[in-house]
Structure 1
């Protein structure tokens, strides 16, 4: 990987996503790619292929003055990237090749994060499903708004494990895999082994594998918000 530092490269990611740019840095489980004025923080786990670009393919790549980089307290790793982003950066989190969510990271737990979005409010995202993360520049105005500080999570004391949080949501109305082709909503009946049981709008009971759940959006009734 070291040979590619500072060089224009091609990346093929899981999910038929392709990226080109300049490889800026890499750590134990993540690399940083500068592409079209954005810094992409990409988990190594999702990279299928990396190679150098020819001069014809590369065209002209240059360092951006507007892109947002993150400051790290320790060695570069995915967890460090997420914790750094949670210090107030507005970010794009890419879950699939065609599925990105924008918002503020409010909590980074053992195997998932909590994201506050202007559109969906609170979303739970298992870390292993994150294809890449892009922080916005500090002077950006997402949706035309300028916030003086990032929103605070409405979830108080979230469990450290994603599966434990699903257990906590028993009886709640949730939407899984928002905006994806496998998106589904219903009442969370409970968890059994590697599956959760969901009751759909027509009261059909289905079981879904937890490991294939990319996002969870819990719907919180107004009277419940006071108790979270």
Structure 2
């Protein structure tokens, strides 16, 4: 049995990369690459790579409410194979979830596919979003009875992506050469334009002024087609 983290089952605060507000809750499970936090209402899954600081809180935990068992994350001592980032993503497929990657807002929708180093998220706002695994800051699965913005299935049907998927994020970028795309949710206007070329780990994007902008693939967090 692996030794428990000294803060496991304690009330903690996490500071996460690019996320202004800290995440607070009970640290209920730890895998090699993910923390599982129960904040009193929901589970928050935080990839360890984006953890900047973890500290103990003195406050008493709030009452914990039940959530779907398939995403609960059992205690490590009951597992031969600990909870992992990829297992959580695969379990979350088809469930209404909240994710945070970049910018000032999280994204709500459904995770539809998990590939080698990226996943596909379908949102009523952004539609099909390609997201690099290394840039997801947290995932929050919601109760099965909850839908985005209380939209009915007729208003927001869960449709499979019409984009042909590659195995890798770089391969997916290559498949979209020649398309008008938005990188990183369009927070930076220079990351909106025609994807002209992908070569030597760089993506060439032609912006509104016709200038070529080169972005290293490792720094592309999301991609979607408007």
Instruction: Tell me, in whole angstroms, the C-alpha distance in 2 between the residues paired with 1:29 and 1:102.
Output: 23
User: Following the alignment from structure 1 to structure 2, what is the Cα–Cα distance between the partners of residues 25 and 119?
Assistant: 32
Q: Does 1:14 align with 2:17?
A: yes
| 1:75 equivalent among 75, 82, 87 | 82
**CA apart distance, 1:143:** 1.2
Q: Which range is displaced more, 1-10 or 175-184?
A: 175-184
Residue 105 (1) aligns with residue 106 (2): no
Provide the secondary structure at the position in 1 that maps to 2:146: coil
CA distance 1:183–1:155, shift in 2 (3 Å): farther
Judged with a 3 Å threshold, the aligned counterparts in structure 2 of structure 1 residues 99 and 185 are, in CA distance, closer, same or farther, namely same
The CA distance in 2 between the partners of 1:97 and 1:184, in whole Å, is: 13
- Structure 1 residues 139 and 178 mapped into 2: Cα distance closer, same or farther (>3 Å)? same
Q: Unaligned regions of 5+ residues in structure 1, if any?
A: 220-228
Structure 2 contact 196–206 (Cα < 8 Å) conserved? yes
What count of residue pairs does the alignment treat as equivalent?
Answer: 214
**Cα distance in 2 between the residues matched to 1:5 and 1:97:** 30
Whether 1:3 aligns to 2:10 is: no
CA deviation map 1:83-104 (0-9, x unaligned): 0001x21111111373311111
Give me the whole-angstrom Cα distance separating, in 2, the residues matched to 1:79 and 1:153.
Answer: 20
2:160 paired residue number: 153
List, as ranges, runs of 4+ consecutive aligned residues in structure 1 with deviation greater than 6 Å: none
Larger strand share, 1 or 2: 1
Structure 1 residue 190: Cα displacement = 0.6
- The residue aligned with 2:150 is 144
Query: What is the TM-score of this pair, normalised by structure 1?
Result: 0.85
Q: Counterpart of 2:158 in 1: which secondary structure?
A: coil
Contact kept, 8 Å, 1:39 with 1:68, in 2: the verdict is no
Tell me what 2:173 maps to. Answer: 166
1:212 to partner: Cα distance? 1.2
Where do residues 81-120 of structure 1 align in structure 2 (5 Å cutoff)? 81-86=88-93, 88-96=94-102, 98-120=104-126
Helix, strand or coil: the match of 1:2?
A: coil
CA contact (8 A) 2:40 2:61 kept: no
Deviation of 1:151 after TM superposition, in Å, equals 1.8
Counterpart CA distance in 1 for 2:131 and 2:218 is: 11
SS in 2 for 1:96: coil
Q: Where in structure 2 are there 5+ consecutive unaligned residues?
A: 74-78
Counterpart residue number, 1:49? 53
Report the alpha carbon displacement of residue 64 of structure 1 after superposing the two structures with TM: 1.1
Q: Say which SS state the counterpart of residue 22 (structure 1) adopts.
A: strand
Aligned pair in 2 of structure 1 residues 203, 108: CA closer, same or farther (>3 Å)? same
The alpha carbon displacement at 1:107 in A equals 0.7
CA distance in 2 between partners of 1:141 and 1:79 (Å):
24
Which among 113, 123, 136 is matched to residue 129 of structure 2? 123
Give the TM-score normalised by structure 2.
0.85
2:108–2:123 contact (8 Å) kept in structure 1:
yes
